[in-house]
Structure 1
Amino acid sequence: MRTFRKKILLGYGASLLLIIVVLSWAMFLILRLGRASESILQENYRSIQAAENMIDAVERQDSATLLILLGYEQQGTAEFRENETLFLQWLGRAKDNITISGEKEIVDALEKGYAGYLREISHLQLLYRSDRTKAANAYHEVILPLFRSIRDTCIKLRDLNHETMYAASNRANKISVQAVFSISVIGAASVILVIVFSLFLSHLISRPVTALKEAALHVAQGNYDVQVPVRGSDELTLLATQFNLMVEKLKQFNDLNVGRIIAEKRKSEAIIRSVDDGIVVVDDNFLITNLNPEAAKIFGVLPEDSLEKHILEVMRDEKLFHFLKEALAAGRQPRMEEGENILTIKTGEESRHYQVSIVPMRTPSGVIPGVVLLLRDITRLRELDRLKSEFVMTASHELRTPLTSINMAVNLLRESAATKLTDQERALLEACYEDVQRLRALVNDLLDLSKIEAGKLALAFEPVQPRFLCDQALSVIKTQAESKDIELILGVPDDLPEVTADPHKIVWVLVNLLANAMRYTQAGGHISLQGERVGNQVQLSVTDDGEGIPFDLQPRIFEKFVHGKLSDSGGGSGLGLAICKEIVRAHRGAIWLDSIPGEGSTFTFTLPVAV
């Protein structure tokens, strides 16, 4: 079962062998060329160098001889002896480097001639001391010819080595040309063989691999009847056999599960159809893949006509479509402010309200194939809430008149009859007065909240400095803070930009938040009012280091009649934070809470920067 592997190893082994042959031949030629170059340097260059230096030395000796004849005997003699030593040194090196034919005879003649030259120079010096005229004649007749003979012999030695070096250089050039040619031929043959083998091997591999690829494409498209031809006994044949077995098992598995998948799909569709709420399922291209009859009824379409249509063709609401895109992109439910999750659809004169919930679908691998849009009909709940608000407003109005009368009567009794009453009666009167005040505050809060919810609260918007609003709120609460020994800290910069707000309503919100903070802060505590710009909004926050708010109450703290854990000083009506929330929303802002029980609370709200 390793035939295919052996074929590859054999082919690449042959290629490797060719490469080794080419490299070996190249190394042999390079070494041969190197030896030829080394021979040139060793055999000829040293002899040429010796000849050049001997020429230079003997010429300097001739110059020294002339110095002697001119009367500078001591200086001339010293220079002559110095160059004599140099000449003999280079002559010795020439004798040690005799490597070519005819070189020995030239060196011997040079050595013999130089010895005669030295003898005649000694005779010349003796003759110069006795008769300078004869000495000058002897130089021209004897010394000068010997000097020229020695110099010519050195030149002959140099030229012989030059010629030999040139011949060796020609041999090296021939070797290099031979090396380039032979390496090119062998290299070209190796390349051709490698290309032929590579083409053969690629065809050998690609043919069954191509067949496997085409079969895999058919399987991916759901065709499980495809088979790959099985030929030979190598590893690719084994792979084709295993592929055919795999396709057969996939076909059996597909036949087994198609029925289950269809049954599950029909069950899911039946569940979706039976749900009273509207359900729309869209894919990652926002095409509707399923919707139940209730959703079709909401949008006034037929279910079968809406499938595979874009969601905007059925639901013409850009804001809701934006939330669908956000859910698909982020893979989580979109964050909607209160009121943004309500879809109102008008049919003639009637309006119906639906609470929207968007849930992304997620596969086990984490892919988001689409989202589910759930529409819950809350029209009846909205109507009940409207009726409740009207009842509260009516009841509050009806209670206001008798409460005013009771308040006047209680105040009259406190002013005129207090001295005539016993201590117990005065205590009861004070309790009655406090209860009346509490009821009046509750009725006023209910009326304000009802107006806000009904959209009837008049707001006088104007550009105003945040620091001015905070100063006004602190001036209202300052006396109460001093009486409880609570430190008020103002951290609102003067250079904050103006905001668009109703000053009276925002001061009311700040006073309410500060009063709540004071209610939950013990004596010696601290309350901080801070402000900063964040983008196109200004954030104002009230922070205390009091008791904090329990975690289970925090999600509902802005609902009506919800109280935190009360301190010993008593609590309010439970409507203050609900009214604060509605006022802030009316200013196109948001309000939220950050609190850790036992460490204090921070209420923050935003106001838009004035344009």
Structure 2
Amino acid sequence: MVTTIKTKLFIGLVFLFIVIICFGVLGIFYVKRLSSDAGMILKDNHISVEFCNYMFKALNELPGDTTQLAIFDKNLRLQEHNITEPGEFEATADVRALFDELRKDPAAFTAYKELRKDIFKVIDVNQAAIIHKNLIAANTASQATLWLTIIVSILSLAAFAFILNFPSVLSRPIHLLTEGIQEIAKKNYSKRIHLDQKNEFGILANTFNAMAQKLDEYEHSNLAEIRLEKSRIEAIINKMNNGIIGLNEKRQILFFNSEAEKLFGLKEKDITGKYASDIALQNDLLRTVLQSGEKKTLKIYLDNKEGYFEQESIVIQTDNGVGGQVIMLKNITPFKELDAAKTNFIATISHELKTPLFAIKMSTQLLDDKRIGELNTDQREILESLKKNTERLLKITGELLNLSQVESGRIQLQKEATQPAMIVERALQAVQQLAAQSQVQLKQNVGTNLPAINIDEEKTTWVLINLLSNAIKYSSENGSVEIKAEKINNQLIFSVADRGKGIHAQYVTHVFDKYFKVPGSNESTSTGLGLSISKEFIEAQGGSIWVKSEYGSGSTFGFNFLLNS
């Protein structure tokens, strides 16, 4: 028969309820019985004794005080109505007979002694009854004590046994189940729970054992496959041309592929399981890699050859937070070599083009000189087109030469103390003709008593000219462009503001990217290099370049220098 936990709880609670009911009913029964015995003594016998005492008191006042006859008669009548014991009626009748004689002639009555004796007889009968009933009450109390003691002892033993056994019925299975769950959490899938019970706990234990069996089977069935996949992944990682380092959440080294061994001069078997920070104390390259950010280009000398590696760090996220990190060093030396070759090619071509372009420019200037001869309308249109294209080619070759300096990392700076007003003046002179052709008004706002600053005058002026040229191009006819130089706190700030259509917010962060052109600008003559080169020139001098733009309201480009730099 299957006894469920619910049934056991019900039986236990019913048992406790029966204990309470039995003890309460027995107690109430004996209390009422004792109360009844005591009530009988008070009601039947003690009151009769009181009546007799009142008659004695009245008799003592006679024959002098005849008013006591009425008191005696009253108590005698009450006694006659409270006769409950054998012999009490006869004794009371004797008292009545003598009292009637006394009432007829109190002065002649002489049987006071006999009357007192008869009253004493009534008292003796009731006192004897009191003693007898008291013994009955005492016997009842003894019986009550005995039975209550027996019942309390039996119920106490039963309750004690219940207390000892019943909690274990619940606690032992729970304890075993808790222990089993803890073992499963530790991946001890061989744990089993043995409960010889046919209740819910037994069913739960069987279910737990079935679950543990399935987990154990799953663990062992996948172990070989997992090991195979691990070996496969390790083989793939070791065959990769990139140096790869794996760290766990405690920054301990998990794997170190063969390419990483070459780069760092370390052996995987010697460092696996050790803290990366401890190994880095003796290895400068590893220390640099661990201290670097998520992306960085490193120059590493390997096999007596300079190589470039791009570092990329991947943080592995788990449900509990950071689960580790994978650091990759990608060999980008071939790309750097190609980039250097491209830069040298651009620099060479741009340099070679400048000479014939200058010759063409001088020739167009000579042709434009009226002293050589007058040109007809068609010839002048061709000459103007030639001059514009020559200027465009000269600008492009100039930007390409500047770009080659930037990309090669050989930006040559000639810093000297320079007045901000002079830079603004030179930049304005360079764009006066462009502004007049575009019918754009130039405004300048240069602060007074601006301090000289140690910068490269030529490159800074080039940047300012580039910003002014862009502002003029994107301004509407009869518009205005304002150039400003001012000192704010410890910074010298140059800025160029136009009232053109501005730049969409999604493009603002890309305007300084190489070859970037704002979509829809319709600027076919731009190479997309001017702002990128400007950024490199300013940052090479320790300054910072910026832009603020609101579409439909115009743009403001500027750059800052610290005065104490």
TM-score tier, shorter chain, comes to: 0.5 to 0.7
- Contact 2:399/2:530 (CA < 8 Å) preserved in 1? yes
Q: Superposed, which structure 2 residues align to 1:145-294 within 5 Å? A: 204-294=169-259
1:451 matched to 2:401:
no
Match of 2:290 in 1: 321
Listed as ranges, the matches of 1:50-129 within 5 Å are: none
Gaps of 5+ in 2: 22-157
Query: For the residues of structure 1 that align with 2:193 and 2:549, how far apart are their CA atoms?
Result: 69
TM-score by length of 1: 0.56
Shift of 1:384: 2.3
Aligned pairs for 1:565-580 within 5 A: 571-580=525-534
Measured against aligned partners, the alpha-carbon deviations of 1:20-53 in whole angstroms (never above 9, x if no partner) come to 9xxxxxxxxxxxxxxxxxxxxxxxxxxxxxxxxx
Q: Counterparts of 1:196 and 1:465 in 2: how far apart (Å)?
A: 104
Q: Which residue of 2 aligns with 1:303?
A: 268
Asked if the contact 1:418–1:426 (Cα under 8 Å) also holds between the matched residues in 2, the reply is no
Once structures 1 and 2 are overlaid, which stretch shifts more, 199-208 or 419-428?
199-208
Query: Percent same amino acid at aligned positions?
Result: 31
Distance in 2, Cα, partners of 1:280 & 1:495: 57
Q: Which one of 382, 386, 392 corresponds to residue 346 of structure 2?
A: 392
Contact persistence 1:500–1:608 (CA under 8 A): no
TM-superposed CA distance for 1:230, in Å, is 0.5
For residue 371 of structure 1, the aligned residue among 325, 346, 351 is: 325
**Hey, what does 1:356 align to over in structure 2?**
311
Q: Using the TM superposition, give the Cα deviation of residue 302 of structure 1 relative to its aligned residue in structure 2, in angstroms.
A: 2.8
Residue ranges of structure 1 left out of the alignment (5+ in a row): 21-192, 325-333
SS at match of 1:352: strand
Please report how far the alpha carbon of residue 573 of structure 1 lies from its aligned counterpart in structure 2 after TM superposition. Answer: 4.4
- Cα deviation, 1:452-496, whole Å, max 9, x if unaligned, reads 333433335579999997798678657855764657789999999
Q: Distance in 2 between matches of 1:545 and 1:19?
A: 97
CA distance in 1 between partners of 2:160 and 2:371 (Å) = 123
Aligned to 1:521: 475
Alpha-carbon distance between aligned partners in 2 of 1:610 and 1:196, rounded to the nearest angstrom: 91
SS in 2 for 1:222: coil
Cα drift, residue 378 of structure 1: 1.3
Q: Is the contact made by 1:279 and 1:291 (CA closer than 8 Å) also made in structure 2?
A: yes
Helix, strand or coil at the partner of 2:348: helix
Deviation at 1:354, TM superposition (A): 0.9
CA contact 1:514–1:542 (8 Å) conserved in 2: yes
Q: Distance in 2 between matches of 1:358 and 1:583?
A: 30
Quote how far apart the aligned CAs of 1:393 are. Answer: 2.7
1:342 aligns with 2:307: no
Matched, 1:383 2:337: yes
**TM-score, normalised by the number of residues in structure 2:** 0.60
Partners of 2:548 and 2:557 within 8 A in 1:
yes
Mapped partners of 1:200, 1:499: distance in 2:
94
SS at match of 1:420: coil
Cα displacement (A) at 1:424: 2.5
Computed over aligned residues only, the root mean square deviation of the Cα atoms, in angstroms, reads 5.2
- Matched residue, 2:361: 407
> Which has the larger helix fraction?
1
Q: Residues 45-65 of structure 1: CA distance to partner in whole angstroms, max 9, x if unpaired?
A: xxxxxxxxxxxxxxxxxxxxx
1:549 and 1:565 in contact (8 A); partners too: no
**Structure 2 contact 471–481 (Cα < 8 Å) conserved:** yes
Q: How many residues align structurally?
A: 430
Matches within 5 A, 1:10-25: none
- Counterparts of 1:42-53 in structure 2, within 5 Å, are none
CA distance in 2, matches of 1:260, 1:218: 24
**Distance of aligned partners of 1:227 and 1:460 in 2 relative to their CA distance in 1, 3 Å threshold:** same
CA–CA separation in structure 2 for the residues paired with 1:455 and 1:216? 64
Compare CA radii of gyration and give the structure with the larger one.
2
Q: Given that residues 392 and 525 in structure 2 are in contact (C-alpha distance below 8 angstroms), is that contact kept between their aligned partners in structure 1?
A: no
Deviations 1:186-210 (A, max 9, x none): xxxxxxx999988876655443333
Q: What amino acid is the match of 1:395?
A: I
Residues 1:17 and 1:259: Cα distance change in structure 2 (over 3 Å): same
Matches of 2:286 and 2:445 in 1, distance apart? 43
Distance 1:450 1:214 in 2: 72
- 1:470–1:238 distance in 2 versus 1, CA, 3 Å: farther
Counterparts in 2 of 1:299 and 1:544: CA distance versus 1, 3 Å:
farther
